[in-house]
Structure 1
Amino acid sequence: MTERNNIFFYYVTSKGIEEKLSTLSNVAIENGFEIVEHAKNANIIVSIGGDGAFLQAARKTGYRQDCLYIGINRSGESSLYCDFNMDNFDEMLDTMQHEELEVRRFPIIHANVNGETSFYCLNEISVRSTIIKSIVIDVYIDDQHFETFRGDGLIVATPTGSTGYNKSTNGAVIDPRIPCFQVTELASINNNRYRTLGSSFILNQDRKLRLSVRQDGNDYPIIGLDNEAYSIRNIHDITVTLSDKVVKTVKLKNNSFWDRVKRTFL
């Protein structure tokens, strides 16, 4: 494992975390791993703190294509991105050293705002009104007008992100082996003037989605990028495609995506 022996811990400082990390670091060193202080020097990026921390670790470290991302929960609660918890850190190291490593590859979506600013998302991008008024968005698929949406907003989710915000709004849960992304409505208004599909729809990896925001008072909508929110002035167009980038994680035996879904929701 000489090619994968540098570990960087990503975490938010909180009470007791330094003591726990010291224990984890000692165990890692005893097993032949090296702890590094900067993500750029790591081959393995370990997030501490659940799915939210995992999303932040991937974003803050630039979705490194030459790294493995591993999530560790600080408690025994279920998690869709985190295979491990503080109590089975030894199991993680043993898996990486002694077992044939199977790597998951989670799709990422790329979003471009106004043809200027680019973002990547592992879960989803959402567009919502910041005022007490519905937002109007013209939806284009491959530059062909599909529908004019009016309501609270739209969510564009990856397959792994389909279990998050998307699922809470009745979107479908999608197998991450399917290279695609999903569009889900937030409280759409359907009347004689505005008519939408009224359900989620799924786009293949080679499709291009463009959301054109009508400038009618919602010039500053909130854009949610995974678990971060951005307010960008005068948003006209958001173009979303499936990126060539992926997030790579270690897959444990008997812990597929659907095992995680069952453990979390059923």
Structure 2
Amino acid sequence: MKIAVVANQEPKSQQVAKELQDKLRVANFEIDKVKPDVVITVGGDGTLLGAFHAYSHELDRIRFIGVHTGHLGFYTDWRDYELDLLVSSLCEDTSKSVSYPLLDVTLTYNDTRQDKQFLALNEATVKNLNRTMVSEVFIKEELFEKFRGDGLSVSTPTGSTAYSKSLGGAVIHPRVNAIQLNEVASINNRVYRSLGSPLIIAKDEWITLNLAEDESYQLHIDHLVMTEDNLDTVTVKLSEQRIHFASYRHTHFWRRVNDAFIGE
């Protein structure tokens, strides 16, 4: 088994990553960041998001494991003081995994540029950089509403505990294959009207944002931020690909939610 260890730049994470690699070598695992079978991240959810995007072209064969060195994360099942137990679990590997849904995000333009496509583990958010954002919202090619406000955000079930939750979205179990649309500071009055509440979109439907022309937009794909001009549409649907986590000890989703938002 080939293993890649990816850590953030915090001194503690770097130290834990070095200790983990030493233990893996002693157990006769090969450290390989180019063609790994398993990617172990050391840090927090942000570190795992970065690794996900770095290896997003090989999701069909890579499994992820998260080790957290700070606060409890939604994608990190192991603590930094459990390295021996983690290595022992790897030695008894049965190739089992648990998978989570991903977003497929497609950008089209008003000019001659080719479409761009991204995968997102948490969410994709669109905002207008200069003024109120105006967008027609289509659900499965049917016009649903004309939105005016700061922006629109689409999340996965696992992403429902991140930015989506701060926007008033529902927390969705990752076994529910759906996506969620949230408004960011929508304008609702006698003249302009949108639904004003989160939408849960079925797995066989998709969302298309038909954006106003001659504007500059900021896109957030998980932790990635980019500015796009001449953007025509943003289409978001459930991806046919999924992220796979090695299931040596996978924390129950609702326990994660409790630990993060309720537990002491």
Give the TM-score normalised by structure 2: 0.91
Question: Residues 206-229 of structure 1, C-alpha deviation per residue, up to 9 Å, x if partnerless?
Answer: 1121001112x6x11110000111
What does residue 197 of structure 1 align with?
195
- What is the DSSP-based 3-state SS (H/G/I as helix, E as strand, rest coil) of the residue aligned with 2:187? coil
Tell me which moved more, 100-109 or 148-157.
100-109
Of Structure 1 and Structure 2, which has the larger fraction of its residues in strand?
2
Could you say if the C-alpha distance between residues 157 and 231 of structure 1 is closer, same or farther in structure 2, counting changes exceeding 3 Å?
same
Tell me which moved more, 144-153 or 54-63.
54-63
What does residue 224 of structure 1 align with?
220
What does residue 104 of structure 2 align with?
110
Q: For structure 1, which runs of at least 5 residues remain unmatched after alignment?
A: none
- What is the DSSP-based 3-state SS (H/G/I as helix, E as strand, rest coil) of the residue aligned with 2:67? strand
Aligned residues: 256
- 1:192 Cα deviation after fit: 2.5
Identical pairs, percent: 29
Paired residues of 1:123 and 1:157 also in contact (CA < 8 A) = yes
2:252 pairs, out of 236, 250, 256, with 256
Asked if 1:73 is matched to 2:71, the reply is: no
What does residue 154 of structure 1 align with?
152
Paired residues of 1:208 and 1:239 also in contact (CA < 8 A) = yes
Question: Residues 163-210 of structure 1, C-alpha deviation per residue, up to 9 Å, x if partnerless?
Answer: 000001110000100111000011111122221111001111111210
Whole-angstrom CA distance in 2 between matches of 1:117 and 1:255: 35
Paired residues of 1:7 and 1:34 also in contact (CA < 8 A) = yes
Tell me which moved more, 225-234 or 6-15.
6-15
2:41 pairs, out of 47, 52, 62, with 47
Question: Residues 35-80 of structure 1, C-alpha deviation per residue, up to 9 Å, x if partnerless?
Answer: 11x33x21001112100010110001125210111111123x2110
Whole-angstrom CA distance in 2 between matches of 1:85 and 1:25: 15
Give the partner amino acid of 1:94. Answer: S
Paired residues of 1:107 and 1:176 also in contact (CA < 8 A) = yes
Paired residues of 1:7 and 1:42 also in contact (CA < 8 A) = yes
Q: Where do residues 39-188 of structure 1 align in structure 2 (5 Å cutoff)?
A: 39=34, 41-62=35-56, 64-75=59-70, 77-98=71-92, 102-114=96-108, 116-131=115-130, 133-188=131-186
Paired residues of 2:206 and 2:235 also in contact (CA < 8 A) = yes
Give the partner amino acid of 1:126. Answer: T
Give the TM-score normalised by structure 1: 0.90
Give the partner amino acid of 1:189. Answer: I
Give the partner amino acid of 1:122. Answer: L
Paired residues of 1:95 and 1:101 also in contact (CA < 8 A) = no
- What is the DSSP-based 3-state SS (H/G/I as helix, E as strand, rest coil) of the residue aligned with 1:87? coil
Asked if 1:24 is matched to 2:20, the reply is: yes
What does residue 208 of structure 1 align with?
206
- In angstroms, what is the RMSD of aligned CA positions? 1.8
- What is the DSSP-based 3-state SS (H/G/I as helix, E as strand, rest coil) of the residue aligned with 2:61? coil
Could you say if the C-alpha distance between residues 90 and 250 of structure 1 is closer, same or farther in structure 2, counting changes exceeding 3 Å?
same
Give the partner amino acid of 1:66. Answer: R
